Structure 1
Amino acid sequence: MTDQVVASLNFKTFLVEEIERWWANKHEPLLLSKLGQLAAARGFVLHQELGGRKLSQFIQQELADELEVKSPNNSGLLLRAVPKNLSVVETALPIDDKPDGSPPAGLNRAFLSAFGRPIADGFERWIRIDPPIRFRDLPSDQCLTDDYVRIDRCFLTNPASDVEAFAQANKWISANGFDIQRFMLKAKVQVRSDKSLLSQLIESLTESELKRVSLPLDIVEKLMRK
């Protein structure tokens, strides 16, 4: 166990949701430099949340089931983040298309990992059942709300192949009355942003560009209403 600072759940949630929102709206990766600016603007103190790590290292270590860090031509420059598993078929395939029992193409990877990852003694596993899907392991005397549901240990295999994990996931889905489509990656859709035009304008500019922008107050007010 290292002495790294444990990032807040709110910070991890912000990173995942911001990258997924960016992809849904623009269908392109989000530059990590831009992501850092957005996080700072939201009020997060990056050096505290990251515990001395780079943002790319943090994502790879803490959010590998949900996000992926890439760079053009594997150059290591202009690092960008995208939601995980964008290369898989984006429309859900029926379970019957997988006679060998392997998980269907399009199944959320974080959901599958929740049933195949080892869990320490004295901990309980909680999974968020609404997008963005993720799971968290907490001490047995703690619990999560806000769309998180506990996974009983009888559904957790340790360790598990994808086939074994999917079998346990199916049992859990049936026991809880869920539909597997809830945990499938969705087809590409354009999501309407609830942010004002002013917020979207600010997010589209770099830090240096923002320093050169000057808008009359009446224009600012108009952009804030749209």
Structure 2
Amino acid sequence: MLFKQVPLSDRVEKVVLDMLRGNIKVTFDEILQKLFITFPNGLTPDTKGVVEVLKEYATTTGDGRWRYKPEVNCRDSEHSEMIYYLSELGKKAGFKVWVGNKEQGDAYKNEKLSKFCTELNLKLSGFTNDELRRIAMIDVLWYENSSVKYIFEVENSTSITSAIERASHIPEEYETKRFIVIPEERQKMLERKMNEPMFQEGYNKYKWQTIHYDALKDFYNLHKSNKTLQRDGLINLK
């Protein structure tokens, strides 16, 4: 296992995000109170870190409260769209495509993402049942001959750490290409995470690369009318 546990900073960020998504407006004190309850016994993060998270995802209102940024909320809704683009591009390149178990229940243009899986069950060789279960949770896989060639994790927030952990079950000697797909405005968030030693180790060890949402959309639109996609052209997908 790459990470023995999810870093505290990631867990804090998730709590803050859940509060922003679940409420129209929240006060800083309400957020701190939730964090004190969630992380007792000296685990409570410093307020500076909490403010950094809020500035990343929220904006202040006239009454001093915090509200989820509309543009971030909009990006959340694009998650399924990015998975659709990746599944279509993978098929054009001649790969089998797998959409993560959790994402299969989501929809894009009124169609469940499970429809875009090449097979009903993920069939890979050389993995234990537990490893295969975790690999099947990766957002998008391109594979052939029971071997994973490309991994894509489409992320907006803290789950990037969990994404890298899931993909670590595919050994580095497999030479699988790994991509984190994020909105352009989340690049600073990724750079901030790179300051965390464990995250940086996992990111560099497995040679992750980054694709931005708009770049993926442009790449898809460029090739959507093509029946096939030359695999050499995939180098431009970043």
TM bucket by the smaller chain?
0.3 to 0.5
Query: Relative to total residues, which structure has the larger strand share, 1 or 2?
Result: 2
* TM-score between both structures, scaled by the size of structure 1: 0.34
* TM-score between both structures, scaled by the size of structure 2: 0.33
Which has the greater radius of gyration?
1
